[in-house]
Structure 1
Amino acid sequence: MKAKISEIFRSIQGEGKYLGVSQVFVRFAECNIDCIWCDTDFTVKEQLDEVELIKRIKGLMPGCHSLSLTGGEPLVQIKFIKSFLPMICKEGINIFLETNGTLVKEFKQVLKYLDIVSMDIKLPSSAGCGEHWQEHSDFLKIAVGSKKDVYVKIVVTQGTIRNDIVTAVELISQVSKTVPLIIQPEFIQRDGLMQKCQEYLYLANGQLNDVRIIPQVHKLMGWK
């Protein structure tokens, strides 16, 4: 079995709770949703089987904190992921999943192999890809119940509406008030966007214990 891969590289995590740690990134091609602000290249650059991919990862891994499975949406390629994860875990590597938090059935199948889950909540007014509230709720309940290291990321754009933030914060708080929430501005130079993020930070702080504003630092620093 072969995975459709866009790129494999070593760099510094530029987003979220693990900002600044060194990681090997495997970017899987394909995604199940289409966010209007997404700038990711999903082109299939190569197709690798499990042994080939693990060899590439091990060559880049020395000095790195963890392996980031990103995309696209890695769980779209669940057949490969199910086969690959038991093999890579034998290498003693921490597995970090970056996911849009919508593929609940697929997530259940591989959860036991994961160490860190970075889950997006896709706001309808920001992402423009419809509502996924129920999937997000089910996904987060499973992640939190597993006792894995879980945090949630929300991208805020100029189009983001307050009601979507309220719904997202309530969704998280109903599962666990201790789950960290990262508010990520789409682009920090946009007029009024940081002010909007601060407003949403104060709102979320009323229900959640750990809320932070963190931009995409890799873009500011010139990291890949």
Structure 2
Amino acid sequence: MVKYWISEIFTSIQGEGEVIGTPSNFIRLAGCHLRCIWCDTKYAWHKYDGEEMSIEQILDKIDKRIKFTTITGGEPLLQDILPLVEALKSLNHKVLVETSGTIKPSKKLRELVDIFSVSPKLSNSGYKFKYNFKDDNWVTYFKFVIVNPLEDIQEIIRFIRENNIEPSKVILQPDGRKENYTEGLRELIDIILKLGIPFRVLPQFHRIVGIQ
């Protein structure tokens, strides 16, 4: 029987990315191989802090009325999520996978998942880029957390050039720890307009309205 280490399962709205505002089930897998400085889900870093659950147990905990499910982490691709995705698709769910992009999904998984939301980590996370997306089109969109706007955006520009990424796939969002979140959004907007680059600036909706 296939089992997964699960940190939490809940239902809310998607707070970020292209599907912001969409009602979604969330399945947060436990375990992550990164330790980002600004991570807001440190409780999901360690696999054994989670609960081992079968696919049937997981499906029992989601809201069947909502046909949209986000698989997140931690880093969900550390576990073989293909059987879980297959089970969700059999229920006619649209599936979004949130990942750092450090682990490439299998061809079969790429065919089944509707949306891959990829968050490569900038130097502000405590890591350096170790990604290669050149001539590889499996990512739906890229999300970047911006801590030091001018430095971070220049790093992103270098990254997309090196990897042949369309600028329109890039979404920027302020560091959620910022005291004045609205000011952080305005700052990003000003810089993007000044540079004349077609990156999108979007909030993390849950930061604004205070939901999970």
User: Which deviates the most, 21-30 or 170-179?
Assistant: 170-179
Distance 2:128 2:94 in 1: 32
Pairs within 5 Å for 1:5-16: 5-16=6-17
Pairs within 5 Å for 1:55-70: 55-57=60-62, 60-62=63-65, 64-70=66-72
Deviations 1:1-34 (A, max 9, x none): 2101010011011112211110000001111211
**Can you give the 5+ residue segments of structure 2 that lack an aligned partner in the other structure?**
none
User: Which 4+ runs in 1 deviate beyond 6 A?
Assistant: none
Please name the residue that 2:150 is paired with.
162
Distance 1:194 1:161, change over 3 A: closer
Residue pair 1:121, 1:168 contacting (<8 A) in 2 also = no
Residue pair 1:153, 1:184 contacting (<8 A) in 2 also = yes
Residue pair 1:29, 1:73 contacting (<8 A) in 2 also = yes
The structure with the greater share of residues assigned to helix is: 1
Q: TM-score normalized by structure 2? A: 0.83
User: Which deviates the most, 160-169 or 43-52?
Assistant: 160-169
Q: Does 1:17 align with 2:12?
A: no
Residue pair 2:173, 2:185 contacting (<8 A) in 1 also = no
Q: Does 1:114 align with 2:91?
A: no
Distance 1:8 1:166 in 2: 36
Residue pair 1:75, 1:107 contacting (<8 A) in 2 also = no
Among candidates 128, 132, 151, match of residue 131 of structure 1 = 128
Residue pair 1:66, 1:94 contacting (<8 A) in 2 also = yes
Please name the residue that 1:201 is paired with.
192
Distance 1:35 1:90, change over 3 A: same
Deviations 1:101-125 (A, max 9, x none): 1112x4545211100111112111x
Cα RMSD after superposing both structures: 2.5
Distance 1:198 1:107 in 2: 36
Distance 1:166 1:75, change over 3 A: same
Q: TM-score normalized by structure 1? A: 0.79
Please name the residue that 1:141 is paired with.
136
Q: Give aligned pairs, total.
A: 204
Q: Does 1:50 align with 2:55?
A: yes
Q: CA deviation at 1:199?
A: 4.6
Residue pair 1:172, 1:179 contacting (<8 A) in 2 also = no
Distance 1:218 1:193 in 2: 15
Distance 2:83 2:137 in 1: 21
SS of 1:7's equivalent?
strand
Distance 1:95 1:73, change over 3 A: same
Deviations 1:188-223 (A, max 9, x none): 5359744542354236643x4xx2222222122121
